[in-house]
A and B are shown apart, each in its own frame.
Chain A
Amino acid sequence: MDQPSHALLEFVNVRKAFASTVTEDSAVDVAVDGVSCGIAAGSFVALVGASGSGKSTLLKTVNRLGDPDSGQVLLAGDNVQDAAPAMLRRRIGYVFQGVGLFPHMNVADNIGIGPRLSGTRASDGRIAELLELVELDGSYAGRMPHELSGGQRQRIGVARALAGNPQLLLMDEPFGALDPLTRDGLGKRVRALHGQLNLTTMMVTHDMAEALLLADRILVMEKGRIVADETPRSLLKGAGGPIAQAMVAVPREQAAALAQMAQLDGPA
Chain B
Amino acid sequence: MNDILVNLASLGDKLAAHVLLAAAALGLGIIIALPLAVWANRSPAVSRVALGFSSLVQTIPALALLALFFPVLLSLRAVFGEGLPTLGFLPALLALTLYALLPILRNTVTAQEQMDAGVLEAADAVGMTRWQKLQLVEAPLAAPYIMAGIRTAAVWTIGAATLSTTIGQTSLGDPIFAGLQTQNWALVLAGCIASAGLALVTDALLGAIERGFQMRRRWLVWAGITLALAGILAAAFAQRATDDNAIVIGAKPFSEQYVLARLIGQRLQDAGYAVEYRDGLGSAVVHEAVTSGEIDIAVDYTGTLWTNQLKRSDNPGRDAMYEQLVRWEADTTGTLVLGRLGFENAYAFAMKKDRARQLGIETMDDLAREARRLTIGGDVEFFRRPEWLAVEDAYGLKFGRQRTFTSTFMYDALKGGEADVISAYTSDGRVAADGLLVLEDPRGALPSYDALVLISPQAAKDSELLAALKPLIGAISVEAMRQANYAVDRLDDKRSPAQAARELARTIDAP
Contacts and interface: CB of A to CB of B under 8 A. Distances in A.
Contacts of A88: 127
B141 A104 contact: yes
A100 B121 contact: yes
A86 B125 contact: no
B146 to A, nearest CB: 14
Nearest to B139: A104
A81 to B, nearest CB: 16
B119 A102 contact: yes
Contact of A99 (B118, B126, B128, B129): B118
Contact of A65 (B118, B125, B132): B125
Interface stretch (A70-78, A89-97, A180-188, A248-256): A89-97
A113 interface: yes
Contacts, number: 63
A86 B128 contact: yes
Interface residues of B, number: 20
B359 interface: no
B121 A89 contact: no
A212 to B, nearest CB: 27
A246 B132 CA distance: 46
A114 interface: yes
Nearest to B140: A104
A160 B216 CA distance: 22
Give the secondary structure class of B's interface: helix
A148 to B, nearest CB: 15
Interface residues of A, number: 23
Given A100-B116, A100-B119, A94 B128 contact: no
B128 A98 contact: no
Interface string A209-223: 000000000000000
A28 interface: no
A262 interface: no
Contacts of B116: 98, 100, 103
A164 B141 CA distance: 25
A117 B126 contact: yes
A90 B126 CA distance: 6
Contacts of A94: 125-126
Interface of B: 116-129, 132, 136-137, 140-141, 216
Question: Shortest 4 CB-CB distances between A and B: which pairs?
Answer: A100-B122, A98-B118, A90-B127, A89-B127
7 contacts: A65-B124, A86-B127, A90-B127, A96-B121, A101-B122, A104-B216, A117-B128
Given A104-B140, A114-B126, A117-B128, 13 more contacts: A85-B127, A86-B132, A87-B127, A89-B125, A94-B126, A98-B122, A99-B118, A100-B125, A102-B123, A102-B136, A102-B137, A117-B132, A160-B126
